[in-house]
Structure 1
Amino acid sequence: MKINWGTGIVLAFIGFISFIMYFIVTMNVSKDFEHELVTEDYYGVELAYQNDIDKLNNANTLSENISFTKNKEGLLISFPKDLDFKKITGKVTLYRPSNMKLDFEEPIALKDSKMFIVNDRLIDGRWNLRIDWNYNGTDYLFKEGVHF
């Protein structure tokens, strides 16, 4: 049986459309490809973004900003040494962009100018570190991407 060019084009279109439909259904149904936003209240976070800009600008005025080091045991966060660590309050949030279930938040509890987060919750991959903190009534923010 001989297939003419018109039939070949129709078969090619049907094959292409079948492939695209298979791809769409697989991506939407499979649990391997979760589609999550970084935060539940995405639009609410975006509306408060100017506050974040102000906090980042406050942090840029400090003589020394927050620094961190990562090792096998976990993440060591160092606050500015010229500040009284007893007056620092706030929270440390670690977002996992690929899996919202791994996100966690810890209150800042300092015995000196350092805070340590144990590695048992930090699986390998990319994390977004966000430290929202307050010192003497002034709000500060530190954001950085971390890879373990």
Structure 2
Amino acid sequence: MKINWGTYIVIAFALFISFIMYFVLKVQSDSKYDNDLVVEEYYKHDVHFQDEMARIQNAHDLKEKPAITVDTKGVTVSFPAVFSPNEIKGTVALYRASNKKFDFQVPLSFTDSASLFIPKDKFVGGEWYINMEWKYEGKPYLTKEKIYIK
């Protein structure tokens, strides 16, 4: 029996589609290829976008801004001396875009100085996003930064 060139094309397409479907099913079923969203409820989060922009603008308008520094021991969030540590209320949310299992939050709580230290052992090496939301004298602020932990 002789096979013509049309049959070879159909066989090639069938093999190609099988090859692609194998990898699609493998990625969807294997947990090491986790493909979660960065934000669970994206549309609910998007509704408050204008409020978020106002808080970012409030932080941008500050003459002296809080600083986030990374060193070999960890991450330090420090507020300028202009801020009274007792009146700063908020949270620091740290998240990895690659895996939400490593995400965590730390409340902004200060003792004598207006600085917060997060030890390096809480982090996995790589790129991290920091969202620092706080209120000072009733005014809301939001700072977003990207850091890299070695």
TM above 0.5, yes or no, is yes
Deviation at residue 2 of structure 1 after TM alignment: 5.4
Which runs of 5 or more structure 1 residues have no equivalent in the other structure?
none
Could you tell me which residue of structure 1 aligns to residue 105 of structure 2?
105
Could you tell me which residue of structure 1 aligns to residue 19 of structure 2?
19
Could you tell me which residue of structure 2 aligns to residue 40 of structure 1?
40
TM-score, normalised to structure 1, is: 0.93
1:1-148 residue pairs with structure 2 within 5 A? Answer: 3-111=3-111, 112-148=113-149
Deviation at residue 37 of structure 1 after TM alignment: 1.3
Structure 1 consecutive aligned stretches of length 4 or more whose deviation exceeds 3 Å = none
Cα separation, 2, equivalents of 1:30 and 1:4:
40
Q: How many residues align?
A: 148
Cα separation, 2, equivalents of 1:55 and 1:7:
64
Deviation at residue 56 of structure 1 after TM alignment: 0.6
Percent identity over the alignment is 39
CA deviation vs aligned residue, 1:72-118 (integer Å, no higher than 9, x gap): 21101111322212211100000111111111111101121211011
SS of the residue 1:93 aligns to: strand
CA deviation vs aligned residue, 1:12-41 (integer Å, no higher than 9, x gap): 101111111111111111111112111322
TM-score, normalised to structure 2, is: 0.92
SS of the residue 1:144 aligns to: strand
Letter in 2 for 1:85: P
